[in-house]
């Protein structure tokens, strides 16, 4: 099955990417920092730039965005996808509503945790109404430690991430969605999610829980055996090993990843990694 991930980047944008050069929109008029956005500088060329100052959405506009998520879900299904995943992580729009760092609103979408989760809740329900709850997932990136590696695209470190994301999971469980996708920190020597958080998530959310973020077969097996997760994603390892399931099953050695060719746009580092050949 293939699910389309629905994004809205919110404040992580630039006026050159907006209709008529308008300001990006966000829960509050707070500029994104420690992140760059890619803008076009000419035909076929571009550069990284600082995000533009956003403007705060009106309450009516927030409701319009909820409806746009439903439209996006409908378009995805008409295009042939099997379901949709709401991107509520990595410092983008839904994450901006959830976070106390980026949501300074004083209407029904700001203030208390329940209010800050309202946009997530309403957008998810709107998508469910279009595609059905069994075809909806949500992605979170619940960071627990602030380090020099924390950047907006990795998510926003809440004062109390345990309470924030367990409550979010509880509300999504009430809506009956199919799964949660948990993106863990994936840089070198990154801290793992606390075991008590993973246990609380498991007890709170009754659907499928999927984890990803520099996972190894050993770590995934350990999490599975502990009953903390149901599915595990392998990103960089899969790039370098097109036959990764067979390599894991037979304990074959892995190809090393060539970081220099990642996202290069050509076949090198994309389609030229070899499958395993026994001697």
Flag whether 272 is in a domain.
no
The CATH number of residue 166's host domain is 3.20.20.70
Task: Domain count for the chain, please give it.
Answer: 1
pLDDT tens string for the chain (279 positions)? 999 999 999 999 999 999 999 999 999 999 998 889 999 888 888 899 999 999 999 999 999 999 999 999 999 999 999 999 999 999 999 999 999 999 999 999 999 999 999 999 999 999 999 999 999 999 999 987 655 444 555 567 888 999 999 999 999 999 999 999 999 887 777 778 899 999 999 999 999 999 999 899 999 999 999 999 999 999 989 999 999 999 999 999 999 999 888 877 788 888 899 998 866
Where in the sequence is the domain holding 22, given as residue range(s)?
Answer: 3-189
Tell me if 49 is assigned to some domain: yes
Q: Any idea of the CA torsion for 113, 72, 26, 142, to the nearest 10 degrees? A: 40
Among all residues, which ones are annotated catalytic? 92
Does residue 43 lie in a domain region?
Answer: yes
Q: Is residue 251, in this structure, part of any structural domain at all?
A: no
Locate 168 and state its tokens. Answer: 């979010």
Which pLDDT score, from 0 to 100, does residue 148 have?
Answer: 45
- Supply the pTM of this predicted model: 0.92
Residue 87 counted as domain residue: yes
Q: Is there a domain that residue 41 lies in?
A: yes
Return d(Cα 23, Cα 19) in angstroms, integer: 9
Give a yes or no: residue 72 inside a domain. Answer: yes
Residue 154 counted as domain residue = yes
């Amino acid at each position: 099955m293939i699910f389309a991930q629905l994004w809205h980047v919110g404040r992580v944008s630039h006026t050159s990417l907006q209709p008529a050069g308008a300001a990006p929109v966000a829960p509050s008029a707070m500029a994104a920092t420690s992140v760059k956005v890619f803008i076009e500088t000419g035909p076929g060329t571009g550069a990284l730039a600082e995000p533009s100052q956003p403007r705060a959405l009106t309450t009516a506009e927030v409701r319009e965005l909820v409806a746009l998520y439903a439209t996006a879900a409908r378009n995805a299904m008409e295009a042939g996808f099997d379901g949709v995943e709401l991107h509520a992580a990595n410092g983008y729009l839904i994450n901006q509503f959830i976070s106390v760092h980026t949501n300074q609103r004083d209407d029904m979408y700001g203030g208390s945790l329940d209010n800050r989760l309202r946009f997530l809740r309403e957008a998810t329900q709107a998508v469910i109404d279009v595609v059905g709850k069994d075809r909806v997932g949500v992605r979170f990136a619940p960071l627990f430690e602030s380090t020099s590696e924390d950047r907006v695209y990795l998510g926003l470190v809440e004062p109390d991430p345990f309470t924030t994301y367990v409550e979010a999971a509880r509300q999504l469980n009430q809506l009956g969605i199919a799964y949660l996708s948990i993106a863990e920190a994936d840089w070198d020597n990154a801290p793992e999610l606390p075991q008590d958080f993973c246990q609380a998530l498991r007890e709170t959310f009754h659907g499928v829980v999927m984890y990803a973020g520099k996972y190894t077969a050993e770590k995934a097996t350990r999490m599975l055996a502990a009953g903390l997760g149901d599915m595990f994603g392998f990103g960089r390892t899969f790039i370098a090993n097109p036959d990764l399931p067979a390599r894991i099953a037979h304990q074959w050695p892995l190809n090393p990843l060539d970081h220099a060719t990642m996202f290069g746009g050509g076949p090198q580092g994309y389609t030229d990694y070899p499958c395993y050949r026994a001697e």
